[in-house]
Chains A and B, each alone.
Chain A
Amino acid sequence: MKIIGLSGSQVGSKTRTAVDAAMKSLKDKYPDVETNLIDLAEYEMQFSDGRNYLEYEGDTGYVTKELMEADAIVIGTPIFQASIPATLKNIFDLLPVNAFRDKVVSMIVTAGSPKHYLIADLQLKPILAYMKAQLVQTYVFIEEEDFYRKEIKNNDILDRIDRLAEDTVVLTETFTKIREEKEAQYDF
Chain B
Amino acid sequence: MQKYRINPDDGLEFGIYTLGDHLPDPATGERISAQERIHDLVEYATLAEQAGLDFFSVGESHQEFFATQAHAVVLAAIAQATEKIKIASSSTIISTSDPVRVYENFATIDLISKGRAEIVAGRASRIGLFELLGYNVRDYEALFEEKFDLLRQINEEEVVNWSGEFRAPLRNAKVLPRPMEGSLPIWRAVGGTPASAMKAGYAGVPMFMAHLGGASAVFKRTIDAYREAAREGGHNPDELPVATAGFFYAAENSQQALKELYPHINEGMKRTNGAGFPKQHFAQGVDPHNIMNIGSPKQIIEKILHQHEVFGHQRYIAQIDFGGMPMDNIKKNLDLIGSEILPAVKKYTKKK
Contact = CB atoms under 8 A, between A and B. Distances in A.
Chain B associates with chain A:
yes
A53 B274 contact: yes
Size bin of chain A's contact surface: 10 to 19
B274 A54 contact: yes
Interface in A88-114: 96, 98-99, 101-102
B305 interface: no
A98 B140 CA distance: 24
Interface in B233-281: 255, 258-259, 262, 273-275, 278-280
A98 B280 CA distance: 14
A160 B172 CA distance: 76
A186 B127 contact: no
B126 interface: yes
A148 interface: no
A188 B128 CA distance: 33
Interface in B132-182: 137-138, 140
A31 interface: no
A99 B273 CA distance: 11
A12 interface: no
Contacts, number: 46
Interface size class of B (residues with CB under 8 A): 10 to 19
Nearest to A64: B274
A101 B274 contact: no
A141 B253 CA distance: 54
Report which residue of A50, A68, A186, A188 has the largest number of chain B beta carbons within 10 angstroms of its beta carbon: A188
A55 B273 CA distance: 10
Contacts of A101: 275, 278
Interface in A133-188: 182-183, 186-188
B274 A188 contact: no
A187 B127 contact: no
A68 B271 CA distance: 13
Contacts of A50: 127, 137, 140
B275 A68 contact: yes
A188 B254 CA distance: 10
B27 interface: no
Nearest to B262: A188
A31 to B, nearest CB: 29
Contacts of A68: 274-275
B81 interface: no
Interface string A50-80: 1111110000000000001000000000000
Given A68-B274, A101-B278, A51 B258 contact: no
12 contacts: A49-B137, A50-B127, A51-B127, A51-B137, A52-B273, A52-B274, A54-B273, A68-B274, A96-B275, A99-B275, A101-B275, A188-B259
Given A102-B278, A188-B258, 7 more contacts: A49-B137, A50-B127, A51-B126, A96-B275, A101-B278, A186-B280, A188-B255
